[in-house]
Amino acid sequence: MSVDGWNTVLVLGGIRSGKSEFAESLVTDAPVVRYVATAPEGDPEDTEWATRLAAHRARRPGSWTTEETTEDPRRLADVLASTEPNETLLVDDLGGWVTVLLDPDYQPADDVATIAELAEAIRTCSARVVLVSPEVGLSLVPTTPLGRAFTDALGAANRAVADACDAVVLVVAGQPVWLKPAASATAPAAPASASVPATLGGTAVPATTTNSAAVPAAANSTATNSATAPAIPGSLADAEPTPEVQLPDVLTHKPPVVPNQEPGNPWAAPTMALPMVATGLVIQPGMELPMPDEYAGPQAVDRLATLDVPGAGLGVLDRVVGFAAATQGTVTPQAWGSVRVLLLHGDHAGGASAGTVAGESARRAAQARAGRGALARLAAESGASLQVVDTPAAAPMEDQPALSLDQVESALRYGWRLAEQAADAGVQLLVLGACGAGTEAAAAAVLAATAGAEPPAVLGRVITDSGEIDDAAWMVRCAAVRDALHRTRRSSRGAKDILAELGGGDVAVASGVLLGATARRVPVLLDGPVGLAAGMVSRDLAGQARHWCLLADHGGHPAVRLAADVLGLTPLLDLRMDLGEGANALVALPLLRSVLALAAALPVHPSLGGDDDPNPDADAPDHLDETLDESDFAEPEPAGPGPASTGADEQPASGWRAG
């Protein structure tokens, strides 16, 4: 075909659909063709894969040049930017590109941002481009977390690239069906003689950014914008919080006084500069929020190998140092001093709360406000402030939506404002907790909708107050989640729709907290089903949010295990405690702080160029220099009863008690 009259085309198709042959037919008579190969070589023993690659190479004319991007996924955008107007690029295919993008060697690379960079490079590319990609939307949901992560990432890439391209064609059984522009239906069926319409219109408007948060401007966006959104109390567009929606009080409980306890040194200043977040934004998919420093984390972990320690080091806890370094933007991160615990209280009606005692969650929330209970006491011991947040109660999800869309919008903004308030107060770490009835079932429903999980596999056993297992209540919860998924089987699986149909108020507020904390560069310590369910939802609104989250322990919850696997969060500990969501993280917090303090204070080993103190005992007390002899360790004789002594009840003034 002639390459005149078109610019960018995305060719979609299933396995063995003929999509690659069709794409090659589009550029057969182009004067200069550069073939961009994205697929890795794979296992040398996989002969079938090697045969596929060889067949692709054999079809390429000798005049084509080949370029590979398997070493770095970001290089594809650079290749597109470096092309000349007289060139034609054939990229085959985006499935291999996403495979490399999800490789652990490239984490914590932001796959959402990288996909956005690729789409923008396509929009601004001066050359003609044909991209090939597998269509994954017609297959079953994969049964493994890795398979689901791949389909999610590839689906997001296909949507972004299709929006950026002038034309999109779907190849089914060798037959091309033009999807964009809609009026184009003149392409012949045979790939060898296929043609592209001469006039292709409509380039998508690029995303716009405002300060540290941005929302893509899409002409066909279904998200509510600032021009059409109803007035919502406490929204980001408000200059000041409205009187109707006030943030809850921040409580600081003091731990019991311990004799001879010396006060610790106060935190001098925040370790990071927190940027102001622009107001007036609509929370919607595609938000561009900050990422942690991708260089500081690995450099901090490498620095640990040079420290003067007598053993092998910190073990798996070196991930804490890497996380803190990336979020603080320094290779020598400091221990978190100012910590705030957000306890979300919101009940879920219906079968989700089967097996719980009525009023128990309200009692736990009141207990925390009064400074009693496990969570409040652990927060006091850690010097953390506590904020108990009442969230909207959720309706029975098996019968009706848990929340209205207006309630979801308000809850997201409310959570964002909670994170902003913490950042303005100098908080360096947020701990997310929850105490509502039915939270486990709501989290399981969110996981089933976002990750394709089966409800019985992610719903933990129901334990009564007496410590007994209530299987009947567990079955009621499973049935509630099953019926809710059946009711919403034809509903949209957008983030806000999932919150409205299944998630409820606590998950919605938690999602807003994660997004607001990401915008203000405040890390979040997750602990429990609500926090992880919010992580799954916030990932679809801003993919950067998961990189600001740390999971201390999975607590034995199957839902937490699955969500952590999908989000790429590896639990640091395996203590299997169940003290309530948020309390488990506070138990681990002193250990995490100690690791950071030790990593920051230890010097480099002398053999690697560190300073070695020539007089290590210079500051030691004088009495330590005295020479001790055997008499210093002799057991003193018991003192006999004196004139005023009562005998057996009186002990000697010093030494061991006489046997």
The set of catalytic residues is: 581
First to last CA, the chain: 105
Q: What is the DSSP string of 335-399?
A: PP-SEEEEEEE--B-GGGGTTPPTTHHHHHHHHHHTT-HHHHHHHHHTT-EEEEEE-PPBP-TTT
Give per-residue burial for 618-635: e unless 16+ CB within 10 Å, then b. eeeeeeeeeeeeeeeeee
Helices (H) and strands (E) in the chain, counts: 19, 15
Residue 66's DSSP bridge partners are: 35
Work out whether strand 208-210 and strand 128-134 pair parallel, antiparallel, or are unpaired: unpaired
CA-CA-CA-CA torsion sign (460, 465, 468, 473) = negative
CA distance 447 to 453: 6
Q: Shortest CA distance to 495 belongs to which of 453, 449, 443, 537?
A: 537
Residue 81's contacts (CB-CB under 8 Å, 6 or more residues apart) are 121, 124, 125
Helix/strand/coil for 249: coil
CA distance 506 to 494: 18
What is the phi/psi pair of residue 348, to 5°?
A: -115, 120
CA distance 376 to 360: 16
Residues for the chain: how many in total?
659
Instruction: Decide if 537 contacts 524 (C-beta within 8 A).
Output: no
The number of angstroms, rounded, from the C-alpha of 561 to the middle of its chain's C-alpha atoms is 14
Structure-token pair, residue 496: 């806000």
CA distance 546 to 534: 10
What is the phi/psi pair of residue 179, to 5°?
A: -100, -25
Question: For the purposes of burial, counting CB atoms within 10 Å of the CB of 19, is it exposed (0-12), middle (13-18) or buried (19 or more)?
Answer: buried
**Radius of gyration of the chain from its Cα atoms, rounded to whole angstroms:** 30
The number of angstroms, rounded, from the C-alpha of 440 to the middle of its chain's C-alpha atoms is 19
Provide the residue type at 477 as one letter. Answer: R
Q: Shortest CA distance to 334 belongs to which of 610, 599, 604?
A: 599
